[in-house]
Amino acid sequence: MPDHAASLADSLLAPRPAAGAIPSPPARGAIPAASPVPVAPPLAAGTSLPEGAGATRSDFRVVPLQHYARGGSWRTEAMRAYRRPVLLWFTRGQGRITISGTTRGYGAHNAIFLPGGTMHGFEMTGRVFGTLLFFPDDAALDLPCEPLHLRFREAALQSELTLLIDSIRQEAEADLPGRDRALLHYGGLLSVWLLRQSASLPDCRLPDDTAHRLVAAYTALIERDFHRGRTVAEYAAELGITSTHLSRVCNIACGRPASALLQDRILFEARRLLRDTDLPVKEIARHLGFASAAYFTRAFNRSAGAPPSAFRRASRAE
């Protein structure tokens, strides 16, 4: 990797003290933040919990995977990122997950922690069961600042993690004195638990070779700028390499060219805005960096198999 690319990759991937690893794009008009759970949007762009406020009931979300995956395979497979950290706990089934441009398999009793802003998507082979835990973006929790993929073979460890997640869910759903303080402590306990497990599982981190670090830097740039209409060549230039080389390393890391990762991220956002908002198609096109609503409609139709208006009607009828 050229010195410029290595330096940029290091700056984009360096550990950060807060959970949010990737800068959020600037807010534009009435465009809402991506929501991990339809009924409860995450914190607004550029905001965090007030200092000393701690976690609150509304900041923790425990969602069954079956509920999260409703509405089509794009709900899980398409590339996306959330501002808040999330823990995926797969209890049954298998598939493939792409994290920061690196694809690997997952199976039953795999836990995957993603810091806020981590671009990802996962495929499910057959029936897959599990839980997603969304954390508040609170530095007091001291969550890991890099993705982790933990595979647990011991039944005791599987039970410990399930118990911790269930405790957070029950506390969040209850209306008891001290609930917010209890949630903060449960979250901190889970953070320590993840730290200890990652220390004993040396293969739980993403590959750290040149190709994978370059792809991770590319996905960080996508997450920062996907709404600006930039091309693969422009991203490659910022990394100090050619677009051909960028696509080559993307194929090595995830089996897909650089253009596919970029298009997938944009298409997810387009679908989300069509389903979750009443914004006009022309406003969504503008927000995603398209030159015109007509060009956006053609691109969406080609990728999704239906024009934006038809997709909106169908998604709301589900």
Q: Tell me, what CATH number does 267's domain have?
A: 1.10.10.60
pLDDT for the residue 17: 39
Task: Give the tens place of pLDDT for each residue, 55-88.
Answer: 455 589 999 999 888 878 898 999 999 999 999 9
pLDDT for the residue 144: 95
Three-class DSSP category at 154: coil
Residue 1 lies in a domain: no
Q: Between these two residues, 21 and 1, which has the higher pLDDT value? A: 1
Same domain, 30 and 164: yes
Q: What is the CATH number of the domain that holds 98?
A: 2.60.120.280
Residue 283 lies in a domain: yes
Residue 8 lies in a domain: no
pTM value surpassing 0.85: no
Q: What does each C-alpha distance from 90 to 40, 43, 163 come to in angstroms?
A: 22, 25, 14
Residue 6 lies in a domain: no
User: pLDDT band for position 1 (50/70/90)?
Assistant: low
Same domain, 159 and 196: yes
pLDDT for the residue 40: 29
Same domain, 121 and 84: yes
Residue 17 lies in a domain: no
Contacts of 166 (CB under 8 A, 6+ apart): none
Same domain, 192 and 220: no
Give the helix/strand (H/E) hosting 98: strand 86-99
Residue 69 lies in a domain: yes
Place of tokens 């957070």: 168
Q: What does each C-alpha distance from 101 to 188, 216, 264 come to in angstroms?
A: 29, 6, 12
Q: How far is CA 160 from the centre of its chain?
A: 25
Decide which of 169, 200, 231 is a domain's last residue: 200
Amino acid at 89: W
Task: Give the tens place of pLDDT for each residue, 224-242.
Answer: 999 999 999 999 999 999 9
Same domain, 67 and 165: yes
CA distance 8 to 179: 42
User: pLDDT band for position 139 (50/70/90)?
Assistant: confident
Q: How far is CA 212 from the centre of its chain?
A: 18
Residue 27 has pLDDT above 60, yes or no: no
Task: Give the tens place of pLDDT for each residue, 28-50.
Answer: 334 444 433 332 233 233 323 23
Residue 305 has pLDDT above 60, yes or no: yes
End-to-end CA distance of the chain: 47
Same domain, 183 and 53: yes
Decide which of 167, 200, 233 is a domain's last residue: 200
The answer to whether the beta carbons of residues 89 and 122 sit under 8 Å apart is no
Same domain, 136 and 216: no
pLDDT for the residue 6: 53
Domain that holds residue 158: 22-200
- Lowest mean pLDDT, pick from 31-35, 48-52, 133-137, 283-287: 48-52
* Structural domain count of the chain: 2
Decide which of 166, 200, 234 is a domain's last residue: 200
Mean per-residue pLDDT of the chain? 85
